[in-house]
């Protein structure tokens, strides 16, 4: 069989770098690297959500790229104890690209993060309003929709001092008024 591979050219190399981490982490790193590779184009483009396609050891993936999404992935991979030393070096290159883009395009970063915040806020507020009118129907959507609430926090971290003053308190009050207040302790002010 080896002679046939030589004649036919053998199997193609995978379109991703070999990693030294468990398959799921390796796939997450490959996604993150692809987002970092497209970061400048993303910042200079008009779209808030950029669809990317990436081949991973776990199969093809089609994540939507945002700055908050890239930041979340960087944070999760940085905290992953099972990420191998070679993959940590690759992640360090992603972080370098992230920091370089933030320094080089601060206005574009700020504009995208502000738009991302508004998008996730609108989605979460819409969910809360719908949930208040029909709690049974919207209960099954909670797990998916609560990701928007978590994304608001992620984007607020990215905004830092530029974050709208009082936003956390306003959201906590909004959630307190809704029927999901017992499940939404993320915005509680300590």
50 DSSP 8-state letter: E
Q: Nearest Cα to 48, choosing from 122, 103, 142, 99?
A: 122
61, 33 Cβ separation under 8 angstroms: no
Q: Note the pLDDT tens digit of each residue in 98-153.
A: 999 999 999 999 999 999 999 998 888 888 888 888 888 888 888 888 888 888 88
Q: What are the tens digits of pLDDT across the range 158-185?
A: 988 888 888 778 777 777 776 544 454 4
> Residue 162 and residue 22: Cα distance in Å, rounded?
37
| Predicted model pTM | 0.80
Question: Does residue 52 contact residue 65 with C-beta atoms inside 8 Å?
Answer: yes
Segment of 16-20, 33-37, 186-190 carrying the highest mean pLDDT: 33-37
């Amino acid at each position: 069989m080896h002679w046939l591979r030589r004649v036919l050219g053998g199997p193609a190399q995978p379109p991703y770098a070999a990693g030294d981490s468990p398959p799921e982490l390796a796939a997450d790193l490959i996604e993150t690297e692809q987002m970092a590779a497209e970061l400048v184009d993303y910042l200079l483009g008009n779209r808030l959500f950029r669809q990317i396609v990436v081949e991973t050891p776990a199969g093809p993936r089609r994540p939507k790229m945002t700055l908050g999404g890239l930041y979340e992935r960087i944070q999760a991979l940085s905290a992953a104890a099972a990420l191998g030393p070679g993959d940590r070096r690759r992640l360090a290159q992603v972080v370098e690209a992230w920091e370089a883009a933030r320094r080089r395009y601060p206005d574009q970063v700020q504009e995208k993060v502000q738009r991302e915040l508004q998008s996730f806020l609108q989605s979460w507020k819409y969910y809360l309003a719908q949930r208040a009118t029909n709690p049974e129907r919207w209960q099954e959507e909670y797990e998916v929709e609560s990701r928007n609430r978590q994304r608001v926090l992620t984007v607020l971290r990215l905004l830092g001092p530029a974050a709208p003053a009082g936003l956390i308190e306003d959201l906590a009050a909004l959630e307190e008024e809704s029927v999901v207040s017992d499940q939404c302790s993320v915005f509680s002010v300590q």
